[in-house]
Amino acid sequence: MVSIELHNIRMHAYHGLYEGEQKTGSPYEVNLKVTYDEGQVAFDDLKNTINYVDVFEIVKQRMKVATPLLEKVAEGIIRKLKHQYPYAIEISISIYKLEAPIENIQGKLGITMHKKFEK
């Protein structure tokens, strides 16, 4: 098994249910892991693996679309990754809002979605 991982990817996005969140936005952090069975691959060509630059682009493009719930964002990223990489057998993504509009809160809040697929 091989996993392609993105960790602590930070970007500004406009997700949220509260007034003003989709206007001003806030910083987010994304962690993502895509696992696949490499079989007998020689790892001598990028087409024999999952390109983490392409994975990052999928995340970046979906994060640009303002969405009330982070679960919907995560679901869209997973769906797009599975479509582009049908041999992925597990995808896990965490999306954290780093400055949640909650009085007196310190830290980050977010969601994790994990999907396993049949081979």
Domain positions in the chain are 2-116
- The Cα–Cα gap between 80 and 98 comes to 25
Model pLDDT, residue 68: 93
**pTM recorded for the entire structure:** 0.90
Topology of domain 2-116, CATH: GTP Cyclohydrolase I, domain 2 (3.30.1130)
Whether the predicted pLDDT of 35 surpasses 80: yes
Question: How buried is 13 (Cβ within 10 angstroms: 0-12 exposed, 13-18 middle, 19+ buried)?
Answer: buried
Q: What is the residue-wise DSSP string for 11-52?
A: EEE---SSTTHHHH-EEEEEEEEEEE--TT----SGGGS--H
84-113: per-residue pLDDT in tens? 999 999 999 999 999 888 888 889 999 999
